[in-house]
Amino acid sequence: MPPNVAAIAEITCECGQTLPDEILASPVPLVLRGLVAHWPLVRAARRSPRVADAYLRRFHRDATVLASHSPPGTDGRIFYNDDLSGFNFSSQMVRFDRVLDALAAHLDDPQPPTLYVGSTTVDTCLPGMRAENDLDFGERDPLASLWIGNRTRIPAHYDVPDNLACVAAGRRRFTLFPPEQLKNLYVGPLDFTPAGQSVSMVDLAQPDLARFPLFAEALAHAQSATLEAGDALFIPSMWWHHVEGLEAFNMLINYWWRQSPAWMDTPFNALLLGLMTMRDLPPAQRAAWQEIFRHYVFESDGGEARHVAHGARGVLAPLDEAGARMLRAQLLNRLNR
């Protein structure tokens, strides 16, 4: 980890407290020390990885998970191969208890293979465990996912939902970059990615500033924190985050939710359409479309169609679920013609 990276702001929490909106809607990341220290899973993990393993097996039935594996020598980095034609790991569906077996077999291995399971729904994989290990989100209904592995390094990437990441076992180091640092992160392919999200091509453990000189500016705006079992981190939507598992047995449970209706499509679809329809226009036309998007989307105050009769506003009327379905059908018809 490069030196002199700023620390993420911290709050000391009461175990299991209901989190207020000023935390769950924060525009900046926040470390929540001790938030889930009361979880039985955390207490088991603090005793030893083997005690945590035994606790998890209580809830496993026959669920399978997508597990990634790479041989010793990759230093835990989940990434592309050298020419970006594939990846430096392989993945297959296996029973979750086989993942636990593999982690246990390499606990004391000084040069273990990289073992990693990401973004697996907790209720599917370990039914009943959330009854003993959960948080109160009030009216929010987040998706709870688990992440488990040994010493791993996940390149910087962003997620559309807000994210509360709770360290259940081991330690994790998070390094975050605000969304406006996109231009300095040297992001790789948008449509061929290690795990569904585009990632920074810079190796944070050894940043090559000769090859990626603008990354020095990204580091000047970075924030970092190391979390112990029982700690949590709120990551706002669209913040880039690099995640390192620092122990031979690490587990994270995270909660994802969006501050928008479920019927809204992901803005990434608009980006793909923008690449197809606008990026290669002549500069004057691109500038004209930039103004149209500024007016109707990015600086909208809802009043762009006040001068149009209510019944004639069409897609400029306030959207609801039914309106979104109609608009999606219009888009499909236009794309398929």
Write the pLDDT tens digit of every residue in 206-233. 999 999 999 999 999 999 999 999 999 9
Q: Which residue has the higher pLDDT, 290 or 308?
A: 290
317 pLDDT band, cuts 50/70/90, is confident
Question: What pLDDT score does 73 carry?
Answer: 87
Write the pLDDT tens digit of every residue in 254-298. 999 998 888 898 999 999 999 999 999 999 999 999 999 999 999
Question: What pLDDT score does 1 carry?
Answer: 59
Q: Phi, psi at residue 170, to the nearest 5°?
A: 75, -155
Write the pLDDT tens digit of every residue in 137-191. 988 999 999 999 999 999 999 999 999 999 999 999 999 999 999 999 999 999 9
- Average pLDDT, integer, range 70-80: 94
Where exactly does CATH 2.60.120.650 map onto the chain?
A: 6-257
What 8-state DSSP symbol labels residue 201? Answer: -
- Give CA angle at 177 (171, 180), nearest 5°: 165
This prediction's pTM? 0.94
- Average pLDDT, integer, range 131-139: 92
pLDDT at 2 over 70: no
**Letter for the amino acid at 293?**
F
Going by their DSSP bridges, the two strands 250-257 and 223-228 should be labelled as: unpaired
49 pLDDT band, cuts 50/70/90, is very high
Fold held by 6-257 = Jelly Rolls (2.60.120)
pLDDT at 112 over 90: yes
Write the pLDDT tens digit of every residue in 5-30. 999 999 988 776 778 888 999 999 99
Write the pLDDT tens digit of every residue in 232-250. 999 999 999 999 999 999 9
Which DSSP string do the residues of 215-244 spell out, in sequence order? HHHHHHT-EEEEEETT-EEEE-TT-EEEEE
In angstroms, the CA 99 to CA 104 distance is 9
In angstroms, the CA 61 to CA 255 distance is 23
| Mean of per-residue pLDDT scores for the chain | 94
Pair 250, 25: CB distance under 8 Å? no
pLDDT at 95 over 80: yes
Pair 238, 187: CB distance under 8 Å? no
Longest C-alpha distance within the chain, in Å?
71
Polymer length in residues for the chain = 337
What 8-state DSSP symbol labels residue 9? Answer: P
Question: What pLDDT score does 261 carry?
Answer: 87
310 pLDDT band, cuts 50/70/90, is confident
In angstroms, the CA 241 to CA 307 distance is 44
Question: What pLDDT score does 14 carry?
Answer: 76
